[in-house]
Structure 1
Amino acid sequence: MILDTPSLYFRAFYGVPESMTAPDGMPINAVRGLIDMIATLVRKYRPDELVATMDADWRPKFRVEAIPTYKAHRVAYGNTEVVPEALVPQLPVIEQMLDAVGIARMESAGYEADDVIGTLTHQAGGAVDIVTGDRDLFQLVDDSRPVRVLYTARGIRNLQVVDEAFVTTKYGIPGRAYADFATLRGDPSDGLPGVSGVGEKTAASLITRFGSLEALLAALDAGVTDGFPAGARTKLAAARDYLRVAPKVVEVAPDAPLPAADLALPAKPRDPEALVRLADHYDLDSPLNRLLDTLPK
């Protein structure tokens, strides 16, 4: 089980009231919410291995160089992401909590959590569950292994299981073609323009007809006219420069450099004394006990 930790702690922050505070008055809602999410996931799915991925770089240079608008609307200053003020001091506590419990925490310099997830999924020898609220990771589903996404849009207790059939039913595309579909459609939340005038329906029909973005572009360059909706060839030709670089932005990396780590779900806390200090200082006894109760005995 791979956790898209930023996606989860943002969801916890907005889902748990800020009135949930530590004894010193510091908001602790994201920490408590994340701990309870992990406890719920471990109790229900019983993973053998568990890793919490992090953003070492939320807006990697290689993506910005390809498409400068990538996440540009979410920049506070420099290359710093807009993060709610009350969430900022909770992030180190989340990292300390994961380390003290013994849940593997992994990031890669110059890459996003999505890329760490993509690389771990590529390297995995067996089944993988990816827990996220980010549709971009639908590109990793693979029934043959199987790799599936546990999508949090409806809450951690009402997860949508996303596999190839879900992607086909939801978007009308081959189950493993989400990245190509998203490249054509674009994603305003990430500053990705897509192809002007090509919406979901046209993007889906193009990917279904040609099978992949690569095959579509080959047909476009070869002058093929069959299979293109009215006006689509002109729009695609106008967006050729975008389509040349967009895949490196949309597709998650399968080869981010990762440190060696023990991903096994711990049977007991790695650092009990540190965990006690965290529990006492931030009043986390109840959620931490719920999490520890789910660990394998």
Structure 2
Amino acid sequence: MTDRLMLLDTASLYFRAFYGVPDTVTAPDGRPVNAARGLLDMIAKLLTTYEPTHVVACWDDDWRPQWRVDLIPSYKAHRVAELVATAPDVEEVPDPLEAQIPVIRAELDALGIPIVGVAQHEADDVIASFAAQSGMPVDVVTGDRDLFQLVDDARGIRVIYTGRGMSNLEVLDEASVTAKYRVLPSQYADYAVLRGDASDGLPGVAGIGEKTAATLLAAHGDLAGIRAAAEAGDGMTAGIRAKLLAAADYLAVAPTVVEVVRTLDLPDVNARLRTPDAAVTAALAADWNLASSLDRAVAAISARS
């Protein structure tokens, strides 16, 4: 059995489960457990299909780090709800989902899947650091295109993309990223900086869309090369040059926001799959009406143990 590490973008998955599984799925006391149940079914499918030997549930200890906001104030700003004038920013999480987070953490614990977050960093950074520091091939499970920047055939890092739903999973390697976006994975962060990303509140360079961004990267290699060419007035039209120069302040800081952190000091966790404790999973299943989904996840883990 060849070792392979699977990194779960946990919030991405449980949000998808929450909206994809009816809220009529409830615990014995009537509380919704649709996100918790759906996440178990996702885990069972992922483990059965891709057969990892190690799994880590990567967590958003800080979904909107201040150091990123300081550089680009619009970063994820549209996802913020001000509870009261003096309250800290919180991500808009529906109350029925918020109530399920302890259940989700409990089920991951029961399955023996370690939960790892790092202060002042997003799950993306945790994923990137595990991928960069892993000595085995890595599958990154996410609905976030930003993580395409991690794809690396030489190191066996690929993305299992959930953006089209769990029934239409896409496995992205270097060739598929390049075919889809006309840039290499190593260029993807610069590509995202140039074209912007409304889902993350990144404005991009006004007037530079996906096609132009890809063309510029093909011609100049990376963002540094593009900026140098713009400053020199070399290798691009006057119109494109003017747009790039007008966005100089944004281009100076955006890469730090968009590029994932690969150098976090990660805790030493045992991510190897091992058969869960039957008494623990039975009690959790009874408490939260998770029996069939939990059984499928346990079976998928036991088959890889």
Please say whether Structure 1 and Structure 2 have the same fold, judged by a TM-score greater than 0.5. yes
The residue number in structure 2 matching 1:225 is: 234
- Please list every run of at least 4 consecutive aligned residues from structure 1 whose deviation after the TM superposition is greater than 3 angstroms: 271-274
Is structure 2 residue 298 aligned with structure 1 residue 288? Answer: no
Moved more, 276-285 or 87-96: 276-285
Of 33, 42, 57, the residue aligned with 2:38 is: 33
Structure 1, residues 192-239: CA drift from partner, whole Å, max 9, x if none? 101011111111111111111122122233x1421x245111010010
1:236-279 deviation line (CA, Å, top 9, x unaligned): 0010010000001101100122211111112x21x544433321
**Counterpart amino acid of 1:105?**
I
SS of match in other structure, 2:105: helix
Q: Which of 129, 146, 153 is equivalent to 1:136?
A: 146
Counterparts of 1:206 and 1:126, CA distance in 2:
34
| Structure 1 length-normalised TM | 0.95
8 Å CA contact 1:174–1:208 kept in 2: the answer is: no
More helix by share: 2
**SS, match of residue 231 in structure 1:** helix
Pick the aligned partner of 1:183 from 172, 181, 193: 193
**Secondary structure in 1 aligned to 2:183?**
coil
Q: Report the residue type matching 1:262 in the other structure.
A: N
Q: Secondary structure at the match of 1:51?
A: strand
SS in 2 for 1:70: coil
Structure 2 gap ranges (5+): 1-5, 83-87
Residue 112 (structure 2) aligns with: 102
What amino acid sits opposite 2:261 in the alignment? A
Secondary structure, counterpart of 2:81 in structure 1: strand
1:147 to 157, 161, 168: 157
Quick one: which of 258, 263, 267 aligns to 2:266?
258
**Residue 86 of structure 1: CA displacement?**
1.2
Matched-pair contact (CA < 8 Å) for 2:152–2:158: yes
Partner of 2:26: 21
Q: Are the counterparts in 2 of residues 138 and 149 from structure 1 also a CA contact under 8 Å?
A: yes
With structure 2 as the length reference, what TM-score do the two structures score?
0.93
Structure 2 residue 97 is matched with structure 1 residue 92 = no
Deviation, structure 1 residue 61: 1.1
Correspondent of 1:162 among 159, 166, 172: 172
Q: Cα deviations across residues 147-184 of structure 1 (Å, max 9, x unaligned)?
A: 11000122223211111111111111234211010000
Measure, in 1, the Cα distance between the counterparts of 2:223 and 2:92.
33
Letter in 2 for 1:48: T
Residues 168-177 or 47-56, more deviating: 168-177
* Deviation digits for residues 128-154 of structure 1 (CA, Å, limit 9, x no counterpart): 110111111011101111211000122
Alignment of 1:213 with 2:223, yes or no, is yes
Unaligned ranges ≥5, structure 1: none
For 1:225-244, list aligned pairs within 5 A: 225-226=234-235, 228-244=236-252
| Counterpart selection for 1:76 from 54, 72, 81 | 81
RMSD of aligned residue pairs (Cα, Å) = 1.3
